[in-house]
Amino acid sequence: MKFPCPYCRKELNLMELQLEGDLNAIVAMMPLFGRHANLVWAYVALFGISPMKNHTKKIRVILEEMKTLFLAEEFSFQKKRHRISAAGIVEALNVVVHRRFQDCLDSHNYLKRIMIGIAEREAQGASRQAEKDLRRREDALLAGGGREDYERPAEETLAPAMKTVPPARLTDEQIAENRRRIKELVGKIG
């Protein structure tokens, strides 16, 4: 279907515009996968997308689904939600891509079944680690040490204590300038 552009009156083809929009979306999504972009493309190729010109919408839809999977790090299968890390997703993609399929894939169900096993393994590992951390904290408390004696997990960060921050060495001019700025701010606020 052809129609004139409302701005330049050039004759445009609706199908070509849709194709161009899909291709632009595909190109824009690729940096989101980072170093795993080739693996994602290999997975998309399993859906029988050649010739690409005829399947741009299908490619865009599959890539959008993969993007949401990578960003959310969770998926649902048979009305049950599963959490999985990005490393687990990559591991599952690697298994699927290296399997030899006779026919083209038509859904993500095989990938999801692989990811379920990986997600359960990750959940068990996280549970074991949480149990170890709890036991270590309990041992530290029972030893009479209190909360200070046990090691903090690596993901926790502490703000520096104010006593360890050296005092600023300001000149009289800098102090006067800071006071002037504070007066301006107070005047603007109140």
pLDDT tens profile 8-60:
777 766 677 677 777 777 888 888 888 888 898 889 888 887 777 778 888 88
- Angular region, 151: left φ>0, alpha ψ -120 to 50, beta rest: beta
Contact 108, 128 (CB under 8 A): no
Strands (E), the chain: 2-4, 11-13, 74-77, 80-83
- 75: nearest Cα among 27, 25, 122: 122
Per DSSP, the three-state class of 11 is: strand
pLDDT, one tens digit per residue, over 142-164 is: 887 655 545 555 555 555 555 55
* Top-confidence residue, 117 or 167: 117
pLDDT for the residue 149? 47
pTM: 0.60
pLDDT for the residue 160? 52
- Compute φ and ψ for 63, nearest 5 degrees: -65, -35
Average pLDDT, the chain: 81
- On the question of pLDDT at 99 being above 80, the answer is yes
